[in-house]
Structure 1
Amino acid sequence: MSSTFLHGGHVFANGIRQHYLRYGSNTGSNTGSSTGEHSARPSIVLIPGITSPAITWGFVGEVLGTRFDTFILDVRGRGLSSASDTLDYSLDAQADDVVALTEALGLCAFAFVGHSMGARIAARAATRIEAGLKSVVLVDPPVSGPGRRPYPSQLPWYVDSMALARKGMDAEAMRQFCPTWTHEQRQLRAEWLHTCDERAVLASFKGFHEDDFFADAAQLKVPSLLITAERGDVVRPEDVSELQRATPSMLHARVPDAGHMIPWDNETGFYAALGDFLGAPVSLQTPA
């Protein structure tokens, strides 16, 4: 498959610099007047998790880009987007960023695909958009929150790995944190993890236990798909049942042989779980 990477870029939106990576086709985009099969489908705004700069989702962007105009966001405090000791790292600010990003890019029809923290951002942002949003995919969202069980990952896992990355680490050093990943995946994380602002990560982790994801998910007015991992303890069957009771139209797919970082563990299964929900199926064999 040839590369679908188009370019990286920045916009000034919601008062900060937001960096994104764009994948798709040069022959079509719903941000302009060009034509092509991509322009007939909603664009995808992919929102990564708590310590995942946009570049680490590039392999997914390559595949989604075969069928969709795809934008992968560096959430504030990660990658090349703004970070500072005075920046608001709350869920509300992150959600407002995504809304402002879609406006700054001129997207007229789009879908959110959010993983982990990104799924919580997508659900909150969806409550603030009046037009343009066509669907939402929530990929293994933390269901922790007020009165609920804590998020299963431990904070030192993030803090310790970021501290090593700031000093300088390689793929082998990253193995202790990501033992099942490939060398290439660990090398990329080792290269980019230092760009994650510890203040942003601490605030987001705190928000996992203070923000009510279920309340946001219950307000979804567009088609939604919940994708969960067979392994791990982030989303349990009873959580799925509760979410679907609140939003009966919410679809659900469980990816076998995958932990929380679903595309890293079972990339084929991740695309199979998406099916044609976004408007067209994708797979590792989809030609660019």
Structure 2
Amino acid sequence: MESIQTHPSAFLAADGLTLAVDVRNPSGKPTLLFAHGFGQTRGAWNAAATTMAARGCRCVSFDSRGHGESTRASGGDYHMQQFVDDLRALAHAQPEPAILVGASMGGLLGLVVAGELRPSPFRALVLVDITPRWETAGVERILAFMQAHPDGFASYAEAADQIAAYLPQRRERKSEQQLRPLLREGADGRLRWHWDPALLAGDLISECERYQPRLLEAAAKVEVPVLLLSGERSDVVSQHTVEEFLALVPHAQHAQVPGATHMLAGDANDAFTAAIAGFIGSLEPAFRPRDEAKQPA
């Protein structure tokens, strides 16, 4: 497979915060805009974005505010509308309407933008294991992991142990190189997760719950093509929430990825990217994924 280079850049949000951005295959088409979930970074898309870039797409991924290498809000002031505004601005900054690939929080933000803006800045939506109404137990499990180690870790190996326990379905253990973008070393020498602790300490989580009526209303107004991908073993999306979503968005397609959990892209990247490629082909018959493209090592 040809080498796919990553082009790091930065995007200035309306309130002055800087978002870290990666672009792969800048001259490719169509544009895929990848939006990660709460507590993740743009690195969650590395395998998928590299694969799709090799298949001819222009792939853009970014760290949400307070995550990864993006700026943290002054005073820990985070609100859902800020995340919506960031995604809307990034979408409008693309050279063409992008296909949004949004996981969890990223997918919810995409629903708001696509449902409330006319014309939509998106060509289509790919929602990765998320629906406007979710299973509370699954979300609570994610938050419990994020809140479990406020004092951080003494070593990368200790952090890898915790990830392995949280994601037992993954056969590959995280290496130090893979963990470095996910951890920050503090003045005390301890390694802490990349996200701003204020994301968990403030009102953002309960605000997200209060967003559900807005999410449901926005979903019902989405006019662009939609593909919902859910994990067979997900504890965030269920048959009930999928059925409710498909009733709200009757033109949406749904596919379940066998064996995958809520961390769908990381669990089954080959199946994930194959589903996206097939969806793009249904939108743009001229799109011909390069058969020689394979999942990066």
TM-score with structure 1 setting the length: 0.83
Which of 59, 62, 73 aligns to 1:73? It is 62
Distance 1:124 1:283 in 2: 33
Instruction: Indicate the residue corresponding to 2:256 in structure 1.
Output: 254
| One-letter identity of the residue aligned with 2:209 | H
Pair 1:63 & 2:51 matched: yes
SS in 2 for 1:130: coil
* Greater mean deviation of Cα atoms: 59-68 or 125-134: 125-134
Pair 1:92 & 2:81 matched: yes
Show the 5 A alignment for 1:135-284: 135-141=124-130, 143-144=132-133, 150-154=136-140, 155-161=143-149, 163-164=151-152, 168-170=155-157, 171-181=160-170, 182-184=172-174, 188-189=178-179, 191-193=181-183, 194-201=193-200, 203-212=203-212, 213-279=215-281, 280=287
- Structure 1: unaligned runs, 5 residues or longer: 29-37
SS in 1 for 2:230: strand
**Any idea what the Cα deviations from partners look like across 1:131-172, whole Å, max 9, x if unmatched?**
542101111115447xxx52423322111256425x653323
CA contact (8 A) 2:4 2:53 kept: yes
Distance 2:222 2:33 in 1: 17
Alpha carbons of 1:153 and 1:2: their partners in 2 closer, same or farther (altered >3 Å)? same
CA contact (8 A) 1:151 1:208 kept: no
**Any idea what the Cα deviations from partners look like across 1:17-44, whole Å, max 9, x if unmatched?**
111111125xx2xxxxxxxxx2xx3311
CA contact (8 A) 2:34 2:101 kept: yes
Q: CA deviation at 1:286?
A: 1.6
Which of 12, 30, 36 aligns to 1:48? It is 36
State the number of aligned residues: 270
**Any idea what the Cα deviations from partners look like across 1:206-235, whole Å, max 9, x if unmatched?**
344221132222221211111101002211
SS in 2 for 1:77: coil
Alpha carbons of 1:186 and 1:266: their partners in 2 closer, same or farther (altered >3 Å)? farther
| One-letter identity of the residue aligned with 2:224 | V
Instruction: Indicate the residue corresponding to 2:3 in structure 1.
Output: 3
Q: Percent identity?
A: 23
**Any idea what the Cα deviations from partners look like across 1:212-262, whole Å, max 9, x if unmatched?**
132222221211111101002211112212111111101111100101101
Q: CA deviation at 1:130?
A: 2.5
Which of 84, 105, 110 aligns to 1:117? It is 105
| One-letter identity of the residue aligned with 2:178 | L
Distance 2:173 2:98 in 1: 34
Distance 2:118 2:99 in 1: 12
* Greater mean deviation of Cα atoms: 72-81 or 10-19: 10-19
Alpha carbons of 1:187 and 1:215: their partners in 2 closer, same or farther (altered >3 Å)? farther
Distance 1:283 1:87 in 2: 44
Alpha carbons of 1:44 and 1:129: their partners in 2 closer, same or farther (altered >3 Å)? farther
* Greater mean deviation of Cα atoms: 221-230 or 80-89: 80-89
Q: CA deviation at 1:187?
A: 5.7
CA RMSD of aligned residues (A): 2.7
Q: CA deviation at 1:285?
A: 4.9
**Any idea what the Cα deviations from partners look like across 1:63-98, whole Å, max 9, x if unmatched?**
121221111110111011111343542222101001
CA contact (8 A) 1:50 1:201 kept: no
Distance 2:3 2:205 in 1: 34
SS in 2 for 1:259: coil
SS in 2 for 1:277: helix
Distance 1:10 1:172 in 2: 32
Alpha carbons of 1:4 and 1:233: their partners in 2 closer, same or farther (altered >3 Å)? same
| One-letter identity of the residue aligned with 1:211 | Y
Alpha carbons of 1:120 and 1:283: their partners in 2 closer, same or farther (altered >3 Å)? farther
